[in-house]
């Protein structure tokens, strides 16, 4: 008897710094939004037909008037934890800008945009806002803590006083990320608790009305990896969705620590998927697998992403992000056709306002290369966690150098003469696959320069732990990109490719 091996798909379904996923389905289409913190544009939006392959279709907050991130906005400040819902023929997105405007609501008929200007909710206090409508059309906004407001979502006004709801296990840290749903005969209140670190988890309660009272699930937490040696840690902050076939799924965040003890994660918190079944009207979250069984429907694999961005289009691809703001005066593909032109704003990557255009590191091992022309300035290729944690290889006419900034320490690690003119800069991230020493870091970041004949000169091999969340703190992950810190620097292309072991 022969049997066909079960098809598997890889988890995380959205790798790289894509935390706090919120999901909704419209017909056979799924949409998902994530947090984006200090980066502009904000709130990446993904589309999928099968729940496992996701395509970035835009960023909800892509106009400066929607997203104010003042110079004082801290890294890991900015936009936290959106909720994305479809109701009454349109998409609704609610999110907190912890650095400026508090809770804000946006609407769109097409999730790829454009999204509306913000509707502010000055009366709603708390992060992680959720939206839910009952059969009478009353809209409830539930926030971390856990408290609930009735709101008018068209004006942002609150109606009456907030009510305190169920807040998870007594004494458990950080009850947050609430989502309220009507499923069958119950209203379910899903929350995260334990904090977003190794003790993270998802718990649930149910009641007969959206106001409660809520009875906790006897098997809480319904998802957690605390105290386990599972390769995916910090699992929490979930959202539920039902497939067109009636099956249920949870998207949630998790991290993949690498190296020895205590383990370091460098890609930030990523979006994972797990199947959900129901027992006695309570959800049971299935196994979280890096290679998970494919859902029982046709898969829609998107075209493989090209390695190279040639900067040939007048528009930047959706995956390019910049700390705090981005203006065409400092960052444009319109000035020299086929080139990205960056004009310096700060004089180093230590400046929160530096001119930097990057993309999330999405693979544990990968390579990035750029062709940089420094004839009129200084700039290069950087791996950035925040302004206090970054490694970069930079060029100015006739010279390249590697700089490392870790906390309060900043050092030029290496410098090297180059012929004047454009130069190829390269960064390789090589994950530690076999831990032979408990002190081994998560990966090695190697920085170097290629010459015109394709030869490569390695200038530095740095321990990746210093660009990890366990060292730097915060909520983001690595972003790899181009920058300028003096004058004008032009880039002909940028390559990013995963590297297989």
Q: Write out the residues near ligand 6LW by the rule CB under 6 A.
A: 19-20, 35, 80-81, 127-128, 176-177, 192, 196, 236-237, 253, 475
Report the distance separating Cα 225 and Cα 233, nearest Å: 6
Q: Which CA distances in Å does 114 have to 31, 87, 117, 168? A: 15, 17, 9, 37
Nearer to ligand 6LW, 460 or 479 (CB): 479
Q: Which CA distances in Å does 337 have to 180, 307, 340, 489, 491? A: 49, 20, 8, 14, 11
Q: Active-site residue 245, yes or no?
A: no
CB–CB of 200/215 below 8 Å?
Answer: no
Minimum distance between the CB of residue 7 and ligand 6LW, rounded to whole angstroms? 31
Minimum distance between the CB of residue 200 and ligand 6LW, rounded to whole angstroms? 6
Nearer to ligand 6LW, 196 or 355 (CB): 196
HEC assignment per residue over 70-127: CCCCCCCCCEEEEEEEEECCEEEEEEEECCCCEEEEEEECCCCCCCCCCEECCCCCCC
Minimum distance between the CB of residue 149 and ligand 6LW, rounded to whole angstroms? 17
Report the distance separating Cα 79 and Cα 44, nearest Å: 11
Residue showing the smallest CB distance to ligand 6LW in the complex: 196
Nearer to ligand 6LW, 19 or 377 (CB): 19
Minimum distance between the CB of residue 43 and ligand 6LW, rounded to whole angstroms? 12
Report the distance separating Cα 31 and Cα 85, nearest Å: 9
Nearer to ligand 6LW, 128 or 387 (CB): 128
Minimum distance between the CB of residue 96 and ligand 6LW, rounded to whole angstroms? 7
The residue from 176, 387, 428, 443 that is catalytic is 176
Nearest to 151 by CA among 183, 125, 177: 125
Q: Cβ–Cβ contacts within 10 Å for residue 171, how many?
A: 6
Report the distance separating Cα 76 and Cα 219, nearest Å: 33
Nearer to ligand 6LW, 128 or 428 (CB): 128
Residues in the chain, total: 501
Nearer to ligand 6LW, 192 or 429 (CB): 192
Q: Active-site residue 229, yes or no?
A: no
The residue from 20, 239, 387, 396 that is catalytic is 20
* Cα-Cα end-to-end distance for the chain: 35
Minimum distance between the CB of residue 293 and ligand 6LW, rounded to whole angstroms? 26
Enumerate the active-site residues: 20, 176
């Amino acid at each position: 008897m022969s049997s066909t091996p079960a098809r598997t798909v890889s988890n995380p379904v959205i790798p790289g710094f894509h935390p706090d996923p919120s999901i909704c389905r419209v017909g056979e289409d799924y949409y998902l939004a994530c947090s984006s913190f200090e980066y502009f544009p904000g709130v990446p939006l993904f589309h999928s037909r099968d729940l496992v392959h996701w395509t970035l279709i835009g960023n909800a907050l892509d106009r400066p008037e929607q997203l104010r991130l003042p110079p004082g906005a801290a890294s890991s400040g900015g936009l936290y934890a959106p909720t994305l819902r479809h109701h009454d023929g349109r998409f609704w997105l609610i999110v907190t800008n912890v650095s400026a405007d508090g809770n804000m609501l946006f609407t769109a008929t097409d999730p790829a945009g454009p999204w509306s200007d913000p509707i502010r909710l000055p009366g709603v206090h708390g992060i992680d806002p959720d939206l839910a409508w009952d059969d009478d059309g009353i809209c409830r906004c539930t926030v971390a803590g856990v408290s609930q407001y009735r709101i008018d979502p068209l004006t942002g006004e609150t109606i009456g006083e907030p009510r305190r709801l169920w807040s998870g296990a007594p004494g458990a840290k950080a009850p947050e990320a609430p989502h309220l749903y009507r499923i069958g005969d119950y209203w379910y209140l899903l929350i995260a608790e334990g904090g977003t670190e190794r003790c993270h988890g998802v718990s649930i309660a149910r009641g007969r009305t959206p106001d409660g009272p809520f009875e906790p699930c006897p098997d809480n937490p319904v998802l957690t990896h605390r105290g386990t040696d599972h390769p995916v840690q910090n699992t929490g902050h979930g959202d539920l969705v039902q497939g067109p076939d009636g099956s249920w799924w949870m998207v949630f965040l998790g991290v993949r620590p690498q190296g020895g003890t205590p383990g370091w994660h460098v890609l930030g918190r990523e979006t994972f998927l797990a199947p959900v079944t129901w027992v006695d009207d309570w959800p049971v979250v299935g196994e979280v697998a890096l290679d998970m069984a494919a859902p029982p429907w046709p898969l829609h694999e998107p075209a493989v992403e090209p390695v190279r961005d040639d900067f040939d289009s007048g528009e930047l691809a959706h995956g390019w992000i910049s700390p705090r703001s981005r203006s065409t005066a400092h960052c444009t593909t319109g000035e020299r056709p086929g080139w990205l032109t960056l004009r310096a704003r700060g004089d180093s990557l230590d400046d929160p306002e530096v001119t930097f255009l990057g993309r999330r590191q999405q693979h544990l091992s990968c390579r990035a290369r750029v062709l940089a022309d420094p004839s009129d300035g200084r700039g290069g290729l950087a791996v950035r966690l925040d302004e206090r944690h970054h490694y970069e290889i930079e060029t100015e006419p006739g010279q390249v150098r590697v700089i490392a900034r870790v906390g309060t320490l900043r050092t030029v690690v290496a410098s090297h003469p180059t012929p004047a003119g454009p130069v190829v800069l390269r960064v390789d991230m090589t994950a530690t696959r076999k831990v032979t020493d408990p002190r081994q870091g998560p990966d090695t970041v190697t920085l170097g320069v290629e010459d015109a004949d394709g030869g490569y000169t390695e200038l530095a091999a740095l321990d990746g732990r210093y660009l990890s969340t366990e060292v730097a703190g915060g909520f983001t992950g690595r972003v790899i990109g181009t920058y300028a810190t003096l004058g004008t620097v032009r880039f002909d292309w940028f390559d990013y490719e995963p590297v297989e072991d």
